[in-house]
Structure 1
Amino acid sequence: MSSTPAASVLFVCVHNAGRSQMAAGFLTHLAGDRVEVRSAGSVPADQVNPAAIEAMKEVGIDISDQQPKILTTEAVQASDYVITMGCGDACPIFPGKKYLDWALEDPAGKGVESVRPIRDEIKARIEALIAEIDAQQEK
């Protein structure tokens, strides 16, 4: 059964290698095809943070096939929600979008032990976001 996603969400951080990739992984895993998921970075890294990949693998989500992507105006325009995680002034702002800024510690350069609490905080925020999207659909 093919259905149109209830919403589209873009996660943005500087390198698109840790926080935004974990958030996209959780949202894809928990919401399935109900939500269209994108992630990007203002200055993308060469690869996804290995500690982020490992931390997500511990909770049964594989993000090892993801590649950091450059933030584009088109990605922002195509998204209902734009969730920033420390991309600073590089985040383009468009009217009519729902912007959320999640203050999350950057996992860059940290080991998996330090990434776990960040991962868990992201999961809690994703669960709240899904509840909000679902509530919007019921209106």
Structure 2
Amino acid sequence: MSTPAVPSVLFVCVHNAGRSQMAAAFLTRLGGERVEVRSAGSAPAEAVNPAVVEALAEVGIDIAAETPKILTTEAVQASDVVITMGCGDACPFFPGKTYLDWTLEDPAGQGVEAVRPIRDEIERRIRGLLADLGIEPTA
């Protein structure tokens, strides 16, 4: 995967309330200013899943102030890497972008016990993404 000086990554899931929020939070923490991070949903929820907020707080990441955002064509166009997480064909396709699809369990309607393994898998994948981008994790 060829990468610009500061690559831009967009995480997309349906509600932008769980998986994509966790992925964006981990990439922001581990990539710092060396990567631009966005997240969005094809049908955003009203709020971030409270179990997701709690699970991330357990590892020292505070996303309590985050809100789900709508997926826009502009966000996709401005991103070098687009990672979808169960949003199907809702994400527009543009040539020259790197598209990845991460199959992950949806944390919607689940308690923090069920969210923890999803959180841990997302962190593992973020560390792999950083390696692919040639960026050393900050933590």
1:86 equivalent in structure 2:
86
Q: Is the 8 A contact 1:16 1:44 kept in 2?
A: yes
1:11 equivalent in structure 2:
11
1:6 CA drift (Å): 2.0
Distance 1:41 1:5 in 2: 26
Would you say how many aligned residue pairs link Structure 1 and Structure 2? 132
Q: Is the 8 A contact 1:5 1:36 kept in 2?
A: no
Structure 2: unaligned runs, 5 residues or longer: none
2:30 equivalent in structure 1:
30
Q: Which amino acid aligns with 1:84?
A: T
2:55 equivalent in structure 1:
55
Measured on the aligned residues, the alpha-carbon RMSD in Å equals 1.2
Q: Flag the structure with higher helix content.
A: 1
1:121 equivalent in structure 2:
121
2:44 equivalent in structure 1:
44
* TM-score in terms of structure 2 length: 0.93
Q: Which amino acid aligns with 1:125?
A: R
* TM-score in terms of structure 1 length: 0.93
Distance 1:105 1:126 in 2: 16
Query: Stretches of 4+ moved more than 6 A in 1?
Result: none
**Post-superposition CA distance 1:25-60 (Å, at most 9, x none):** 000000101000000000000000000000000000
Distance 1:30 1:65 in 2: 19
Distance 2:63 2:29 in 1: 10
Distance 2:89 2:26 in 1: 26
